[in-house]
């Protein structure tokens, strides 16, 4: 059996290009003892993958030139040589960026009966949803009645952060990069105030949307968003540092905020985090998020590309604002 897959052809410099990727034919062998064969249904592309395309030490090893990329995916078992898996089982794995694969069953999660479409387990009920959940509730230590600002609010993580905050009884502000996304945040996702960060000063928008200041700033962007939020935080505010997509493609070191000293007098907490630090909360997250999604209390927005060949374009689109909600590639 043959499967198409994507490899890293070149290490991107600045914005990734389609020529930085290559499509190959990859053999998918019959499963040996303890292995399963899986046909992928949906795969995820995520901003953190950009860091893995640089040859430097980080919390995950870098991708290697010429090797198949990896990432989150949902698939269906087509053949099994393991007693715990049967043909037709839905599974979650990190064997993305390929149409099909054979691998040891260890490390592959059997999902059981799906409470939502498969792609939801890459978005709201998957890693982005759990990132939002632990980042806001654990790192951000959210309390009912507080005021929350989310940057990148129309993205996979930010859109869920805002909706959880609303469920918890908070006032929620969000930034996005187009009028359509701003309208989505306010009219469909329940944000109290949303703005296009390209229109006017970010700090002016924050002062308009939250005159009394911010208790929590959930940072997906970094740069000028972090600078503005620091200026508008209330005493003892919390800033979960989830991402900095504004600088991922920079070719030179990016200057940090010049107002960090405000954190001293205000008693602010700035804490970076990675979702894998909170594996012990996976069960609570799955139970809560499946309930919220199936009841309609949380809407998992998706932008869908079709076919493995479209995966590089989908990935590049993360950095040009092409996605609303979770970016997925369906097969």
What pLDDT digit, counting tens, does each position of 223-239 carry? 999 999 999 999 999 99
Report the C-alpha gap between 25 and 9 in whole angstroms. 14
**Same domain, yes or no: 137 and 175:** yes
pLDDT at 253 over 90: no
**Same domain, yes or no: 265 and 309:** no
User: In total, how many domains does the chain have?
Assistant: 2
Query: Which residue matches tokens 């897959």?
Result: 5
CATH number at residue 195: 3.40.50.720
Predicted confidence at residue 162, as pLDDT, reads 98
**Same domain, yes or no: 115 and 136:** no
Say if CB 78 and CB 274 are below 8 A apart. no
**Same domain, yes or no: 247 and 310:** no
Q: Percent of the chain at pLDDT above 70?
A: 100
Q: Specify the range with the lowest mean pLDDT, choosing from 57-66, 95-104, 133-142.
A: 57-66
CATH number at residue 11: 3.90.180.10
Question: Is 289 inside any structural domain?
Answer: no
pLDDT at 114 over 90: no
**Same domain, yes or no: 8 and 72:** yes
Mode of pairing for the β-strands spanning 193-196 and 171-176? parallel
User: DSSP 3-state assignment of 305?
Assistant: strand
Question: Is 100 inside any structural domain?
Answer: yes
Residue where a domain stops, chosen among 242, 261, 276: 276
Question: Is 224 inside any structural domain?
Answer: yes
Question: Is 313 inside any structural domain?
Answer: yes
Question: Is 230 inside any structural domain?
Answer: yes
Residues whose CB is less than 8 angstroms from the CB of residue 100 and which lie 6 or more positions away in sequence, other chains included = 1, 3, 28, 37, 38, 39, 40, 75, 78
For the chain, state the CA radius of gyration. Answer: 20
**Same domain, yes or no: 145 and 213:** yes
What pTM, to 2 d.p., does this model score?
A: 0.92
**Same domain, yes or no: 272 and 157:** yes
Mean pLDDT computed over every residue of the chain: 95
**Same domain, yes or no: 94 and 142:** no
**Same domain, yes or no: 142 and 242:** yes
Question: Is 287 inside any structural domain?
Answer: no
Domain of residue 45 covers: 2-123+301-330
Q: What is the mean pLDDT of residues 264-273?
A: 98
Band the pLDDT of 37: cuts 50, 70, 90: very high
Question: Is 281 inside any structural domain?
Answer: no
Residues 124-177 have pLDDT tens digits of: 999 999 999 999 999 999 999 999 999 999 999 999 999 999 999 999 999 999
Question: Is 248 inside any structural domain?
Answer: yes
pLDDT at 249 over 90: no
Question: Among candidates 316, 326, 327, which has minimal Cα distance to 50?
Answer: 316
CA atoms within 13 Å, Cβ hemisphere of 113: 1
**Same domain, yes or no: 40 and 53:** yes
**Same domain, yes or no: 105 and 176:** no
**Same domain, yes or no: 146 and 271:** yes
Sign of the alpha-carbon torsion through 199, 202, 203, 207: positive
Beta bridge mates, 98: 5
Query: Which residue matches tokens 């070191």?
Result: 253
């Amino acid at each position: 059996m043959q499967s198409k897959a994507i490899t890293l052809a070149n290490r991107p410099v600045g914005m990734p290009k389609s020529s930085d990727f290559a499509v190959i034919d990859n053999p998918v062998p019959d499963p040996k003892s303890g292995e399963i064969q899986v046909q992928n249904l949906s795969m995820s592309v995520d901003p953190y993958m950009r860091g893995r395309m640089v040859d430097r030490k980080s919390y995950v090893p870098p991708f290697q030139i010429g090797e198949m990329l990896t990432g989150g995916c949902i698939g269906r078992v087509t053949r099994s040589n393991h007693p715990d898996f049967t043909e037709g089982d839905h599974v979650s794995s990190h064997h993305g960026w390929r149409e099909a694969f054979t691998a040891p069953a260890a490390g592959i999660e059997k999902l059981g009966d799906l409470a939502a479409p498969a792609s939801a387990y890459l978005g709201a009920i998957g890693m982005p949803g759990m990132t939002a959940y632990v980042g806001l509730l654990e790192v951000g230590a959210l309390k009912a009645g507080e005021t929350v600002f989310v940057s990148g609010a129309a993205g996979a993580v930010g859109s869920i952060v805002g909706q959880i905050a609303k469920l918890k009884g908070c006032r929620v502000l969000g930034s996005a990069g187009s009028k359509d996304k701003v309208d989505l945040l306010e009219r469909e996702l329940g944000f109290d105030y949303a703005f296009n960060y390209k229109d006017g000063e970010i700090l002016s928008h924050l002062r308009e949307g939250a005159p009394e200041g911010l208790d929590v700033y959930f940072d997906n962007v970094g740069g000028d968003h972090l600078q503005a939020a620091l200026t508008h935080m209330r005493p003892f505010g919390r800033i979960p540092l989830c991402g900095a997509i504004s600088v991922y493609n920079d070719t030179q070191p990016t200057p940090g905020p010049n107002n960090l000293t405000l954190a001293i007098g205000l008693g602010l907490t700035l804490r970076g985090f990675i979702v894998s630090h909170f594996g012990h909360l996976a069960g609570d997250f799955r139970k809560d998020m499946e309930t919220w999604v199936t009841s309609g209390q949380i809407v998992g927005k998706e932008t869908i590309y079709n076919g493995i060949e479209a995966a590089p374009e989908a990935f590049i689109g993360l950095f040009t604002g092409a996605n609303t909600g979770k970016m997925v590639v369906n097969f």
